[in-house]
Amino acid sequence: MRNLIICLFCSLVISGCGFSLRGNYELPASVSQLTVGSSEAHSALERALRNELKPYSVEVIDSSVKGTSNTTSIYLLSDVLDRRLLSLFSTGQVAEYELIYTVRYELQFANSDAQLLEFEIKREYQDDPDAVLAKSRELELVLSEMRKQAAIRIIHQISIAQRTIVNTAVITP
């Protein structure tokens, strides 16, 4: 009984301080509709973002449809994959790359100015010239995972930016 009370007390203290599990991002209630668009038609990052938004109770609207005045908008400007050489085999062939996935997007909340945001996701990638087909498939999987992580990061940024706007509006008279 004592252990149960201690566990209950600890969980109340942890949840009371605002702790939440990693990856558990709650979008504010004010983000009920979200307009998603991209400079590139049928963008893979846009599809990944739409997939990651499915668990949230947010109505995702295509950018071609005009949203209401309380609509939050995300416009994906660019997503670029760059490679940086890390090491070489003794034969001079590339042994290892650093993959750098750069995402630029515009985030605009209802009745506020658009924010231009950018971030990078980096991964190390080992190349094997003897297994070209397998490594090309592996590269596709790594890029897909990087897009998924970028979509999660955009959702997290929406949550943080909206809280910042709300807190700033409460503080300023």
Would you say residue 32 has pLDDT above 50? yes
List, in order, residues 6 or more apart from 115 with CB less than 8 Å away.
106, 107, 108, 161
Residue 102 and residue 80: Cα distance in Å, rounded? 5
Q: Is the pLDDT of residue 139 over 70?
A: yes
Compute the radius of gyration of the chain from its Cα atoms: 21
Mind listing the pLDDT tens digit for each residue in 142-155? Answer: 999 999 999 999 99
Fold of domain 25-171 = Double Stranded RNA Binding Domain (3.30.160)
Q: What ranges do the domains of the chain cover?
A: 25-171
* Total-model pTM: 0.74
What's at 78, amino acid-wise? S
